[in-house]
Amino acid sequence: MKIPLHVMLRKKSRSLLQNILSLFTNYTNSKKFINKDEIKSIIIIRPNYRIGNLILLTPLLNELQKHIPNAKIDIIVGMKLAGQVLEPLPNVDKVFDIPRKLLRQPIKMFNFIKKTRAKRYDLAINISSGSVSSQIVNSLINAKYKASFFNEKNWSSLTHVINKEGIYTHAGLQNLEYLKLFNIKLPQQDLHLDIKLIPKEIEYAQADLTKLLKLANIHEATKTISLFRNARFDKKIPDEWWQEWYDELIKLDKNIIVIDILSPDILSRLNNDFLEYSNKNLRILGAFFSLCDMYISADTGPMHLASASNAKTLALFNKTNIESYGTLGKKDKTLDIENLTAKNVAQLTYEHLCL
């Protein structure tokens, strides 16, 4: 599936607007480190609508919890369900979502501006330095310090500009360079996504899994795989490929149970052999992934959710860069399937499942 024309046009128009606004750049790069002891409130600006990109914030959030435990963090995002996922983290206070098509809804726009201006923060971090919407929000925020990565197209006011040194390749780890604001040594080990599931969430998911297997009259020991078949644009793997993958996989072990994860875009299971499951609570869904013996999908938001939930994850990449977006968990595996057949992947799936 190619990128739709309207998406391409939107990106080009944003780029044009960015180039114009960058002519009015107004920031000073302070050479002074910020004393972390004076930071009690932080707001992170990431007005993005994709759950995967928001879960990629968790390494930075968890490191801030470790080094600045008394700081409460608010987050501005573009996705309503993000609050459900991120607010339970111990150092996260509120998650605010920007209403879609804000400019067409003056009342909502006014309420959003009022809400963002109501609190004064010690520090605002604009994650996406090159984003027009992020910089607009950054301009509205009331904060003592404002920081972002260096970008020649930045035009919003900043007190601290971080030069990204490329210490980390993965998109979920690059934000850790913001720790340089406080002269904190950058971590190098045990780096992964983590939404910090609590026992109650795992308990709820376990009840769902037990009920699902019971209703299907599955009582003997089996291996369960949760499968999510959707992905954006050309990252999506065709259903015909998944069927061939399953046909080959079941030859290796007829007792494997595949659970098709349904969504607004995937309304029915692939075939009658599959079980099906859905849950609008993304944390319970992540816990469900972790309780299955394995999760598998293309490069998509639920893949990052699975990895951040400590599920054994197998990610199948066909377009995007593995080093930048592959899974990070110790139990995870990321495959480039461009030159692999469905039969090849079925064999590799079985090997990973049995580890």
Q: What is the CATH number of the domain that holds 88?
A: 3.40.50.2000
| 126 shares a domain with 212 | no
Q: Which one-letter amino acid corresponds to residue 264? A: P
pLDDT for 192-231, tens place per residue? 999 999 999 999 999 999 999 999 999 877 899 999 999 9
76 and 116 Cβ atoms separated by less than 8 Å: yes
How far is it, in rounded angstroms, from Cα 279 to Cα 118? 34
Lookup result for tokens 């920031």: 27
Q: Which of 153, 182, 211 is the last residue of a domain?
A: 182
Torsion sign, CA atoms 14, 16, 17, 19: positive
SS3 214: helix
Count the Cβ atoms, other than its own, within 10 Å of residue 189: 4
Residue 5 is assigned to a structural domain of this protein: no
Q: Which amino acid is at 3?
A: I
Q: Which two tokens stand for residue 137?
A: 């929000």
Give 133-183 pLDDT, tens digit per residue: 888 889 889 999 999 999 888 888 899 999 999 999 999 999 999 999 999
Question: What domain range includes position 52?
Answer: 15-182
> Are 138 and 45 found together in one domain?
yes
Q: What is the residue-averaged pLDDT of the chain?
A: 90
Question: Which of the four pLDDT bands, split at 50, 70 and 90, describes residue 1?
Answer: very low
Count of domains observed in the chain: 2
pLDDT greater at residue 261 or residue 22: 261
Q: Are 161 and 178 in contact (CB under 8 A)?
A: no
Whether residue 249 sits in one domain with residue 171:
no
**156 to each of 131, 160, 319, 337, how far by Cα in Å?**
10, 12, 33, 41
Decide if 3 is inside a domain.
no
Residue 250 has pLDDT above 90, yes or no: yes
199-215 and 282-291 are packed helices; what angle lies between their axes, rounded to 10 degrees? 70
Predicted confidence band at 28 (pLDDT cuts at 50, 70, 90)?
Answer: low
Q: What is the largest CA-CA distance in the chain?
A: 67
Element housing 116 (H / E): helix 106-117
